[in-house]
Structure 1
Amino acid sequence: MHSLFLTVILVVFSSCKGNLCEHPFQETPGGKCLFNPKDVLRGTWEEGQRICSWLNEKSRLLEIRSYEELQDVTNYLLENDGDCALWTAGGGPWIGAAELENTNQFTWSSDNSTLVVNNWVQGQPNSPTTGDAVMMSCEFGFQWMDKAQDTQLPVLCESTPRGKCPEQFTAVGDTCYYIGDTAASWDLAQEFCSVLAPNGKLIELETLEEIYLVTEFLNNNSDPSRDYWTGAEERQRHDEFYWASSGKPVVITNWYSDYAPDTDTDDAVYLAPGNPYGFVNNQGMTHDMAQDVTQDMAQYMADMTRDMTQGMTPDMVPIQDITQDITQDMAQYMADMARDMTQGMTQNMVLIQDITQNITQDITQDITQDMAQDMAQDMAQDMAQDMAQDMAQDMTDMAQDMTQGMTQDISPIVVCQSEPSL
């Protein structure tokens, strides 16, 4: 097993950076996907709709819903075919609008909505036939004219743009991928994917096409010494693996070379480097094992530190003895000072002197002794607690650093996938 596993994060979106349009469609500056075969593909208006649908299930004759789209498409055609050299005389393509009987009222065929935006040639529409359709005339700068639907004209198809990938992701087929460089446990990798993108998850390779595309992408773009997590995990019984997001069994597999799954349970599957990458179920620290080790080591260090510092408090007892001596000295000093103050008094005050001297000695001795004892106890307790806390934190940090390094040495890298996003 390789010493370093990487977490590959593949997030699935429908197309990513790069062309938003599937072949053979081309992207206009405004973001529409158009297929303009000029005179190569011709037919009636109904045949034109079928030709577009054959190219792509989401394709149809062009429909224009805003003035921005009208300007975008017209400018695109003028820049590419402004001289009409590739069109027959009076030529131009069908678009997706048709007449309601003989009313000169036109609707878009996909939803029967009325044309809000139009670009008619002056005097149009004026065809005497009923149920006409709309074409764009190159001769008139791709303005619109109505023609009988059985007229043979070229087609102008549009398709829905594919979804965009997030920054740093790369389109592979209909999916976007981002290869990370950070190792993680399987559970942490799944959590990372769920945060990275809507419906994010570790890659789930359910078809031969997905296996081929992903392994080819990794062979061409990844570090060949690294391994990559998938979303397959073993549940309960040995050698039975399931895709985590759906719970579906892993039916199509690509086990690495002659590799056979081990006898451990609760494993997860990663892709090991090769040509192509192959499936391997992880025999090391999968799921939360690394996290458990970290917690156990941290607890052990904390317990050891507590045991060490418990013996420190008795060592602080000499401080109390010292403060007791200070207390007695202070009491004697205050008593002497009180006696000196009262010696100069008259004989009539002797009784008062004796009384006050006794009171002074008792009060000052009690107060100073209590204060000194309290101070000694507080100092000893605070010092012991501070030292214990500092040592416990140092030990915990050291345990976390040690186990973090262990996790990086044994865990693959993340590969996430998510649904396409327009």
Structure 2
Amino acid sequence: MIFAQHGPSWKPKLERLLLSQLIDGVIWDPREERVERIKEIRSNDENYSSVKHMVDLKVYYKQFASSIPKRLNDLEYFPEKDIDRAYLRSTDNLETLVEKSIDFQLGFEVDVIMAPSLYLYSFNDRIVDKLLDTWEIFYEQLEEKEVDKGKFVSIIFNETALENKSYITDFLDDFSDIANKFDGIYITIDREKNNNHRHDFNPTRLNGMLQLIYDLKNLGLKVVIGYSGIESIVYFAVGADAVGTGWFYSLRNFNKEQKGLEPVDGMGRQKKRYTSMKMLFELAIEEEILSVPDHLQEELYGKILTGCELDEKILVGNIEDISFNEIYEQYFESLKQVVDAITEKGSIEEKISFVEQLLNTADSNIKHYNESETLQRINNRHIRNYLNSLSRFKNDNFIFI
């Protein structure tokens, strides 16, 4: 399943995605838009009733003194006090936070009720105990209110936390005592900003993420990972149920600076990119596709284009005739083709084998592109890292293909 990660300039983009049936749901962000406006637009467009709805509460903004909460400050559930040690020591604070969060989501008419999440730098943080306490309070209040909706816990952590499998194992051991009370978990990874390769993922950390997904699935939970991009194909390979992703790159890759948890530098000019699932890469259309020499276009375009509606305009070759909204829609269309193919596979062995084939094909296509008479070169480091992580995952879990 693919959920649209709600973000800026959302209305026309969601309308296109819903009309084309390219998404299964929306993960709403009350930081970005007034709740009243969201409700009004949903009530006037029946297409919204055809998909699932969740809300990312984002109370963790109160853990960062310099954060920019935007519209969150207007919402009753959002804490007035900073979430620090003093705040967390008070059971009354946690109970009030949970109660108001539940009431807000019921009023928002979601399909899944989400527990408030706390930001972790490590799965060994002291705050983990308070997070688990919050989840227990969340379950107890839902039972008292007799809420008949999906119950999801929620967590956000720095990607460096994925390096220590021992800490993750300890966390899962503690969580396993209450995991059966919930239907699923929503995960956000705070990615490091210093990676200039937009699809890359440190293989050790990615391997830790794959293991976490697999272990959570073995606890009987549905797993949804927010703010994901092309790397989501390896999440689905090990059993993830859904990802949240979006039109802007900042909705496919969460990091503290972009999301206003810490001060941010200026951002560069946005490029028009084509998402090629044959290369597992987002190619800059003008520089990396339209620059291909005429005598190589038929050959290389066959290794780039994925059978999307936008392909006709790519073949015409007029970059000015391609709008950004068409670019965003093509991303979802291309991703959906592959996600649907993965999720149709019955066993984890079949899923992993299929994704490995995709990765090997992408690696071969990128190498062929780079060896041709093109002006640009495409970095395939992410492909090697994805394959590396999957290989280690198979060995760790005695999965033989």
TM-score by length of 1: 0.25
Q: Which structure's relative contact order is higher, taking Cα pairs within 8 Å and 6+ residues apart?
A: 1
Structure possessing the higher radius of gyration over alpha carbons: 1
**Greater helix percent: which structure?**
2
